[in-house]
Amino acid sequence: MKTVIIPAIDLIEGKCVRLTKGDYSSAKVYDNNPVDMAMRFEDLGVTHLHVVDLDGAREKHIVNYKILEQLASKTSLQIDFGGGVQSSEDLKIAFESGAHQVTGGSIAVKNPGLFEQWIREYSSKRIILGADSHHEKIAVSGWQEASELSVEPFIRDYIEKGIQTVIATDIAKDGMLQGPSISLYKSLLQAIEQPWNLIASGGVRSMQDIEALNQIGCYGVIVGKAIYEETLKLEEIKNYNA
């Protein structure tokens, strides 16, 4: 199976933006209408969409759920939603607003008991683990806080608790268009032998990067800035999906 290309839509004040290394002051608006952007992705044969509520990540509760509702109602994309989902009420809102899956990052670090409850209640098909790391240490709260948790045992522990899919982001690569952390992903896939789906995130700049991730066995790849800055052409995505 080929690596799935998953375009990213990051939301601030309802607009489609991109950050560099998670720095809110670096926010650049690419589109005022995320729904139009999502419909364009769908026309390319894209089946999955990664949506991040950056306002929610900063406020520590879901904020842009109305945009999520529009994305879900006007496309048939399978939407993975994250950012600010810190409570069971937030999770319920995300699913009721149309998310197919919800990614928990900070909550998995700060309140593992609650996150494990979500896995049991909603199943690992609907709950994704977000493993955002810097120098292989897990970071939380929209990357504003570092932890002492190492990325590989952190992921392994949750796979043993039932998680099937993990989005692994190397913060140092995010938004830099300098290539993904192939070595990190390769080492994670080799070290963790249980069946699991690794979605790579951060640094992708070209179809060559996607092919490299495909070769090492990544289930999916999240692509953001490369699409918006057009270092990865929409026609290339369409041809890949065809």
Nearest CA among 178, 142, 196 for reference residue 25? 142
Q: How many residues does the chain have?
A: 242
Per-residue confidence (pLDDT) for residue 141, from 0 to 100: 60
Q: How far does the chain reach from its first CA to its final CA, in angstroms?
A: 13
Structure tokens at 172: 């140092």
Per-residue confidence (pLDDT) for residue 21, from 0 to 100: 76
Per-residue confidence (pLDDT) for residue 146, from 0 to 100: 67
Q: Is 18 helix (H, G, I), strand (E, B) or coil?
A: strand
Per-residue pLDDT of the chain (242 residues; tens, 9 = 90+): 899 999 999 999 999 998 887 788 889 999 899 999 999 999 999 999 999 999 998 899 999 999 999 999 999 999 999 999 999 999 999 999 999 999 999 899 999 999 999 999 999 999 999 999 988 889 876 555 667 799 999 999 999 999 999 999 998 887 778 899 999 999 999 999 999 999 999 999 999 999 999 999 999 999 999 999 999 999 999 999 99
* Residues noted as catalytic: 10, 132
Per-residue confidence (pLDDT) for residue 241, from 0 to 100: 97
pTM for the model: 0.94
Instruction: Identify the bridge partners of residue 66 per DSSP, sorted by sequence position.
Output: none
Per-residue confidence (pLDDT) for residue 143, from 0 to 100: 54
- Are 138 and 109 in contact by the 8 Å Cβ rule? The answer is yes
Angle between helices 182-191 and 151-160 (to 10 degrees): 40
Measured CA to CA, the distance from residue 152 to residue 184 in angstroms comes to 9
Query: How is residue 45 annotated by DSSP?
Result: T
Per-residue confidence (pLDDT) for residue 145, from 0 to 100: 60
Q: How many CA atoms lie within 13 A of 170 on its CB side?
A: 22
- Among the four given CATH numbers 3.20.20.100, 3.10.28.10, 3.90.1010.10, 3.20.20.70, the one describing domain 4-241: 3.20.20.70
Per-residue confidence (pLDDT) for residue 144, from 0 to 100: 58
Nearest CA among 128, 133, 139 for reference residue 166? 128
Q: Where are the domains of the chain?
A: 4-241
Long-range CB contacts for residues 17-20, cutoff 8 Å, separation at least 24 = 17/54, 18/175, 18/224, 18/225, 18/228, 19/54, 19/174, 19/175, 20/174, 20/175, 20/176
Per-residue confidence (pLDDT) for residue 134, from 0 to 100: 87
Per-residue confidence (pLDDT) for residue 159, from 0 to 100: 97
Which residues 6+ apart lie within 8 Å of 146 measured at CB?
A: 134, 137, 138, 139
Q: Is 183 helix (H, G, I), strand (E, B) or coil?
A: helix
Measured CA to CA, the distance from residue 195 to residue 239 in angstroms comes to 29
